[in-house]
Structure 1
Amino acid sequence: MKRLIETIVKPLVDYPEDVRIVMDEHDNRVIYKLFVNPEDMGKVIGKQGRVAKAIRTVVYSAAGSHHGKKVYIDIID
């Protein structure tokens, strides 16, 4: 899942080397924390959050059931 997120996000940003994803797994959920360069934050979020919503939609669809756990993506500034 980390590779999928990287594949989506890196072409969008000016500083792809600063893209970092940390997985935080709990009993009933998996949270992927996405860190990007502060200058790229607007590109990842997009106007009215449309890009972020699209990223989440693709990842949620690819995750499927993910072993019965809910998948979340947090964009950290």
Structure 2
Amino acid sequence: MKELVESIAKALVDYPDDVRVTEQQDEHSLTIRLEVHADDMGKVIGKQGRIAKAIRSVVYAAGTNRNTRIQLEIG
């Protein structure tokens, strides 16, 4: 899951070397945190959050086989 988010984010930003993705697994949830360069924040979020919603949709769809709740944080 981490690799999926990282590859999507690196394709969107101007500073792909500054993309950091971390995962934190709990009992019933997986939290994925995406950090990008400050200048790229708008590119990852998009107008009215559309790109962030699209990334979340892809991550949720990829995680449907798991019995865990997946949360994506962008910051």
Both proteins in one fold, TM over 0.5 = yes
What is the aligned-residue RMSD (CA, Å)? 0.8
1:2 pairs with 2:9: no
Unaligned runs of 5+ in 2: none
| Counterpart AA for 1:14 | D
In 2, the alpha carbon distance for the partners of 1:75 and 1:4 equals 14
After TM superposition, the runs of 4+ consecutive aligned structure 1 residues lying more than 4 A away are none
- SS of the equivalent of 1:34 reads strand
Q: What is the deviation of 1:28? A: 1.1
Shift of 1:26: 1.1
For this pair of structures, how many residues does the alignment match?
75
TM-score w.r.t. structure 1 length? 0.93
Q: Does 2:60 align with 1:54?
A: no
* Aligned residue in 1 for 2:30: 30
